[in-house]
Amino acid sequence: MEPAVWSGVANAPAAPAARAVRDGVIARPGLFQRLTQAQRVAQVSAPPGSGKTILLRSWIAECGLTGRVAWVAVPGDCDAQRFWVSVTGAL
C-alpha cells in the first residue's frame, strides 16, 4: 500500500462539489477502495488530527464490518509482546 501524500499547500483548490457529505463526513471512495482491497491487515499512518479514526470508523460502518473488526491503538512505546496481547484481547 502506498503512503498518502499531503502537499501542505495552504492555498490548495477547494474540494470538488461531487463529494458526498453524510453526518458531516466527506465520502472518501478512493481511500475506502484501498482499504477494501487490503488483505487482512491494514496499517494507517498519518499525523495527529488528519482524520485516520474518522476514515476507519466510516469505512467500517459503510462496509457493514462493525462486528468483524478488531480495533487496537498502538502507543509509541509499545513492544511486540504488549502489541500482540492487545490484538488477542481485541479479537
Per-residue confidence (pLDDT) for residue 91, from 0 to 100: 84
Q: What is the spatial distance between Cα 38 and Cα 79, in angstroms, rounded to a whole number?
A: 25
Per-residue confidence (pLDDT) for residue 43, from 0 to 100: 85
Q: What is the spatial distance between Cα 87 and Cα 36, in angstroms, rounded to a whole number?
A: 20
Residue pLDDT tens, the chain, 91 long:
444 444 444 444 555 544 566 777 777 889 999 999 988 778 888 999 999 989 998 998 888 888 888 888 777 788 889 888 888 998 8
Domain boundaries, the chain: 21-90
Per-residue confidence (pLDDT) for residue 47, from 0 to 100: 93
Per-residue confidence (pLDDT) for residue 83, from 0 to 100: 86
- Using alpha carbons, select from 44, 39, 76, 38 the residue that is nearest to residue 57: 44
Per-residue confidence (pLDDT) for residue 18, from 0 to 100: 47
Per-residue confidence (pLDDT) for residue 19, from 0 to 100: 59
